[in-house]
Structure 1
Amino acid sequence: MSEFPIVSTAENVTRQVLSDHPELMVVAFRFGQEGAIGALHNHPHVQSTYVESGRFQFTLGDEVREVGPGDSFVIPSGMKHGCVCLEPGTLVDCFTPRREDFL
């Protein structure tokens, strides 16, 4: 069990840091309902995303793709990205360096 709190980030979306180090952070994003949104944004961190469960439509720069359990991808530093939940589930994101704003 993570020592970090579960934080609401949007309607039917929560975030929980699972592990943390100055050079790497692992975070679970849980989407509890179809239609829940991970808003479009960008950040200086390199991010990898692993779809633990559920289905999502991701926007990655100019590309839109649908992903499901077992899929993973890397989001380069500065790329605008976001998602819409198609089936409730969990995304596990890794950030390098860590997201200080999540602590």
Structure 2
Amino acid sequence: MSKFPIVVTGDGVTRQVLADHPDLMVVAFRFQHKGAVGALHDHPHVQSTYVEQGRFRFTLGDEKREVGPGDSFVVPTGMTHGCVCLEPGTLIDCFTPRRDDFL
């Protein structure tokens, strides 16, 4: 069980830090319904995303990609990205260095 709170980040979307260290952070993003949005954004962190369950349509820079359970990818520093939930599920994101704004 994580010591970190569950934070609402949008309609039907929550985030919870699972583990952190100054060099690395692991975060679960849970999407509760179809159409829930992970808003387009960018940050200076390198991010990896693993789809634990559900289906999502991601925007990664100029590319659109549909992903499902077991898929993973890396988002480079500064790339604009976001997603739309196609089937409820959970994304596990890792950030390096950690996202201090999530603490």
User: Which TM-score bucket, shorter chain as reference?
Assistant: over 0.9
Counterpart of 1:54 in structure 2 is 54
Could you tell me the TM-score, scaled by structure 1's length? 1.00
User: Which secondary structure does the structure 1 equivalent of 2:53 belong to?
Assistant: coil
Counterpart of 1:76 in structure 2 is 76
Q: How far apart are 1:26 and its partner, in Å? A: 0.0
* In 2, Cα distance between equivalents of 1:48 and 1:9: 19
* In 2, Cα distance between equivalents of 1:65 and 1:4: 30
| 1:14-93 equivalent positions in 2, closer than 5 A | 14-93=14-93
* In 2, Cα distance between equivalents of 1:31 and 1:43: 21
Runs of 4+ in 1 over 3 A off after TM superposition: none
Q: Percent identity?
A: 81
**Partner amino acid for 2:49?**
T
**Partner amino acid for 2:57?**
Q
**Partner amino acid for 1:82?**
G
Q: How far apart are 1:97 and its partner, in Å? A: 0.1
Could you tell me the TM-score, scaled by structure 2's length? 1.00
Q: Deviations over 1:1-58 (max 9, x none)?
A: 0000000000000000000000000000000000000000000000000000000000
Q: How many residues align?
A: 103
* In 2, Cα distance between equivalents of 1:90 and 1:52: 5
Q: Aligned-pair RMSD on alpha carbons?
A: 0.2
**Unaligned stretches of 5+ residues in structure 1:** none
* In 1, Cα distance between equivalents of 2:100 and 2:61: 24
* In 2, Cα distance between equivalents of 1:65 and 1:47: 16
**Unaligned stretches of 5+ residues in structure 2:** none
